[in-house]
Amino acid sequence: MATTMDQRYDTQRLWQLDRDHVVHPYTNFDRFARDGSTIYVAGKNHFVYDSEGREYLDGIAGLWCVNIGHGRDEIADCMADQARRLAYYNTFEDATSAPAALLAGKLSALSPGSLRHVFYGTGGSMANDTAIKIIHYYNNLLGRPRKKLIISRNLAYHGSTYMAHALTGIRPGHVGFDLPENLVHYVSAPYDFRRPAHIEGENFCDYLIDELHHKIVELGPENVACFIAEPILGAGGVIVPPEGYHTRSFELCRANDILYISDEVVTAFGRLGEMVASESVFGIQPDLLVMAKGISSGYVPLGATMISDEIYAVISQPKVENPYFSHGFTYSGHALACAVGLKNIEIMEREDLCGNVRRLGSYFKTSLGLLAESPIVGEVRGSHYMLCIEYVADKAAKTPFDDAVAIGKRVGAHCKRRGLIVRPIGSFNVLSPPLTYDREAIDRSVAILAESIEATVADLAREGIWH
Ligand SMILES: Cc1ncc(COP(=O)(O)O)c(C=O)c1O
């Protein structure tokens, strides 16, 4: 048995129980059956510890979410206090809790435009499902039952419930699953590194906007309900769109009476140096805005769909046939979760964590950018505390590695052995650390990545996979 922080863990027993009984999300069962999982048992600031007492820099904030860092006593005290007072009460129609009301006021104040109405859930997928259900309901109430289609983008990640999986444009992940047919249509991701060869960089934005325009014409604006977009595509490879892309796609939606959903599950709550990025970074006021992850820094499951005055005015009209807004969850507006959300925002504001991200963001990107000198790094991209390294087998031709090489996983495994957790996704490694990451943590992460990439190159050469 090993000791980590103040408790002892029987690693072997936990490993076995987990392997035998836990069905893990997004898992390759072959690898899992062989290796099982690391058991993380403690965390402090931007460090986490496993059951054997090993320390890691948490380069991914759990999963893009522990924005204020791990092990905050203030959050633990807030949870204990709210649990003693009232952990839970339903929020169906005639009931609410103080934290649900207070957090709704705060989120409304932080959100752009007229996004002053909050529907609570427990995560990002649920919040996206809610957005789509509300838009469909809204169009039904307006007497346009055919206006239901959704335009999403290749490589978008919007979650894993039935609807959110369909919104997600990472196509290999659709294989083997049934999705609602012909409801969601996809346009290209604004992926400059892999833009079509015949398109010049300065024309790429025009190309994307033309494509979106053609898609709207092809489907018929009278049939298209909404467009959904992450300000920066996250799990699809931290893809930053060209300048003007969001404002132009937003205007195109407006011109065609198509609602715009901004999925800020990753970008809100500081990752780009702003509490909400849609307007302050990208200049748009979406009709619906989806939040999760950093809203509670992952201390409790919480998600929110922000809804505009205009949409709320329609869905809240008195109705004859079904007077109820028939949508909701037991844990919508969960008192303890909302109390944590409020405390989390209070900490972020008091410690000016957005300021930290703004101050260190370009240093982080420039330092990580030095890794582009490696012969297997095709591009280092991203913004602020949302960064990514894309690996290539041939730098000049930008040829990707074969999937079987699992290049992201290989580099990730070297990083882990050296005490840094990065997220491997296909040919990428993503970095999305807690917003408390300081210069020292940045320098150490970059140094570990540099060593790990070098070690991977040596492995590939030894195995005859790369020369
Ligand atoms: C942009 C985006 N939207 C939605 C989701 C889904 O959120 P959840 O996993 O909380 O359901 C994620 C999760 O990573 C995400 O990155």
Q: Are 436 and 353 in contact (CB under 8 A)?
A: yes
Residue 40 has pLDDT above 80, yes or no: yes
Mean pLDDT of the chain: 97
Q: Which of 228-242, 312-326, 348-362 has the lowest mean pLDDT?
A: 312-326
From 333, 260, 329, 265, select the one nearest 294 (Cα to Cα): 265
From 411, 414, 445, select the one nearest 427 (Cα to Cα): 411
Q: Can you give the pTM of this predicted structure?
A: 0.97
From 299, 303, 301, select the one nearest 290 (Cα to Cα): 303
From 391, 421, 387, select the one nearest 405 (Cα to Cα): 391
Residue 21 has pLDDT above 80, yes or no: yes
Q: Mean per-residue pLDDT for 358-379?
A: 98
pLDDT tens figures, 322-354 = 888 999 999 999 999 999 999 999 999 999 999
Give the binding-site residues of ligand 1, using a 6 Å CB cut-off: 123-125, 128, 157-159, 230, 234-235, 263, 265-266, 292
Q: Measured between alpha carbons, how far is 61 from 298 in angstroms, rounded to an integer?
A: 9
Residue nearest to atom 4 of ligand 1 (CA): 158
Q: Measured between alpha carbons, how far is 164 from 153 in angstroms, rounded to an integer?
A: 13
Å from CA of 293 to ligand 1 middle: 8
Instruction: List phi, psi (to 5°) of 48.
Output: -130, 160
Which ligand 1 atom is the nearest neighbour of the CA of 234? 16
pLDDT tens figures, 152-205 = 999 999 999 999 999 999 999 999 999 999 999 999 999 999 999 999 999 999
Which ligand 1 atom is the nearest neighbour of the CA of 124? 7
Å from CA of 26 to ligand 1 middle: 13
- Structure confidence at residue 217 (pLDDT): 98
Residues 6+ apart with CB under 8 A from 267: 230, 231, 232, 234, 277, 281, 386
Instruction: Give the number of C-alpha atoms closer than 13 A to the C-alpha of residue 136, restricted to the C-beta side.
Output: 14
Q: Mean per-residue pLDDT for 312-325?
A: 92
Å from CA of 159 to ligand 1 middle: 5
Confidence grade of residue 466 (pLDDT, cut at 50, 70, 90): confident
